[in-house]
């Protein structure tokens, strides 16, 4: 299967509106956000993976977690994150469905302590995309298609100058999206020019 770039003009439903919401996304609002600093350029995309419970898909627990309504009785791991308040702008399910929790114009809480090319606190200037998955499992073709469509549209709407993995901006602390995220495939599908090639930390 050839990885042909998707065209932004073919994907109007993926273009965020003026408030930063993407029409193609199922909207699941999270309270875990706040305002970006005044005048901050919105110019980096951060790719993550997540699964809840770890390694399980399609449970609905990611949405519950980002909405602070996780049922901690469902799994022992949930006790360890019951006080955690996080979010991402987007989630892409295993089926390729796009879910949006926070408007792009707002600051979602996805990156934590992080640095991109010398700039600290990546949440200030980045859009976070969670891809439902785990470090030890391949992602699905539908997820690459949706991720590429979304990033293509985000580039049309905002001055995106880089795409990075969470592990690139928080090395030693984070491992996602992990070794199974096929960066060359994603780059080809999203038609990313060399200047936007995923940020790879030296060494």
Which residues of this protein are in contact with Zn ion, per CB under 5 A? Answer: 48, 166, 176
Nearer to Zn ion, 36 or 48 (CB): 48
> For the chain, what is the radius of gyration of the CA atoms?
16
Plot region of 27 (φ>0 → left; ψ -120 to 50 → alpha; else → beta) = beta
Helix/strand/coil for 88: coil
User: Distance between CA 55 and CA 195 in Å, rounded?
Assistant: 33
User: Between residues 6 and 92, which has the closer beta carbon with respect to Zn ion?
Assistant: 92
Q: Write the DSSP symbol of residue 103.
A: -
Of 79, 97, 130, 202, the active-site residue reads 130
Residue number, 86 or 98, with CB nearest to Zn ion: 86
Give the nearer residue to Zn ion in terms of CB position, either 47 or 189. 47
Residue 89 has which token pair? 């702008």
**Cβ of residue 174: shortest distance to Zn ion, in angstroms?**
5
Q: 90-92 and 98-100: which strand pairing?
A: antiparallel
Residue 130 annotated among the catalytic residues of the structure: yes
Q: How far apart (Å, rounded) are the C-alpha atoms in residues 120 and 138?
A: 30
**Closest approach of Zn ion to the CB of residue 175, in Å:** 9
Question: Rounded to the nearest whole angstrom, what is the least distance from the CB of residue 94 to Zn ion in the complex?
Answer: 17
Q: State in angstroms the smallest separation of the CB of 160 from Zn ion.
A: 18
27's tokens: 């909207």
Instruction: Tell the smallest beta-carbon distance from residue 40 to Zn ion (Å).
Output: 20
Residue with smaller CB distance to Zn ion, 8 or 70? 70
Crossing angle for the helix pair 141-157 and 183-190, to the nearest 10 degrees? 50
DSSP 36-66: PPTT----EEEEEEE-SSTT--SSSHHHHHH
Residues marked active site are found at 130
């Amino acid at each position: 299967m050839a990885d042909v770039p998707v065209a932004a003009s073919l994907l109007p439903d993926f273009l965020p509106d003026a408030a930063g919401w993407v029409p193609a996304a199922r909207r699941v609002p999270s309270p875990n956000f706040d305002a970006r600093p005044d005048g901050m350029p919105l110019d980096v995309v951060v790719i993550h993976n997540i699964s809840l419970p770890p390694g399980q898909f399609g449970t609905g627990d990611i949405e519950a977690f980002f909405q602070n309504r996780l049922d901690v009785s469902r799994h022992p791991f949930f006790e360890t994150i019951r006080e955690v308040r996080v979010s991402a702008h987007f989630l892409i399910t295993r089926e390729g469905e796009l879910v949006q929790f926070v408007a792009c114009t707002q600051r979602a809480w996805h990156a934590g302590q992080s640095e991109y090319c010398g700039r600290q606190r990546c949440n200030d200037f980045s859009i976070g995309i969670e891809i439902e998955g785990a470090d030890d499992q391949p992602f699905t073709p539908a997820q690459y298609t949706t991720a590429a469509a979304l990033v293509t549209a985000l580039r049309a709407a905002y001055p995106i100058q880089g795409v990075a993995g969470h592990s690139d901006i928080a090395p030693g602390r984070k491992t996602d999206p992990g070794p199974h995220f096929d960066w060359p495939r994603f780059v080809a599908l999203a038609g990313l020019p060399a200047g936007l090639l995923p940020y790879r930390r030296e060494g």
